[in-house]
Amino acid sequence: MDFISPTKGKLSFQETYSEIVSYFNEKPEEKYKLIIGTDSQFHFPNDVCFVTAIIIHRVGKGARYFFSRRHQKFMENLRQRIYYETYLSLEVATMVAAKLADDEDINLNVEIHLDVGKNGETKEMIREVVGMVIGSGFQAFIKPDSYGATKVADKYTK
């Protein structure tokens, strides 16, 4: 799986992880959030673009992010798209968590930001997708606190 950095260009997952570690190691005494979020957008005539973002946020002092884009055939069902977004976020979060487990010098918890909220069509899916994330051992955030999905990933689905 490849990622794109707005400043470094195309990176492998290993290179992306190395960039995250490097950013953390610049100021390890600071507070960090490691966020994974996925969003999707329908593209005419029968394509859905899914973007998964990894954000390393130095709280109050900036962030770096990386994103991966993939296209799938049109998914007519919103529930199916939201489940797939959640699956993609969990897939990347699991890869990141596995690397973090091998790195004793970095203590970061992974947050998953979901593109669901209490208003709109996705409100009935909150319990289900939050349960998937928590059941997988990660923290889950929904709108309006899920900026990893609703702002960063969303920006690259267009």
Q: Is the pTM of this model over 0.85?
A: yes
The total number of structural domains that make up the chain: 1
Q: What is the mean pLDDT of residues 28-46?
A: 93
Average pLDDT, the chain: 95
Distance CA 125, CA 116 (A): 7
Is residue 134 over pLDDT 90? Answer: yes
pLDDT at position 31 over 80: yes
Q: Burial, 116: exposed, middle or buried (Cβ in 10 Å; 0-12, 13-18, 19+)? A: buried
pLDDT-derived band at 5 (thresholds 50, 70, 90) equals very high
- Could you give the angle at which helices 78-102 and 126-135 cross, rounded to 10 degrees? 20
Name residue 50's amino acid.
F
Question: Which domain covers residue 135, as residue numbers?
Answer: 2-155
pLDDT of residue 118: 97
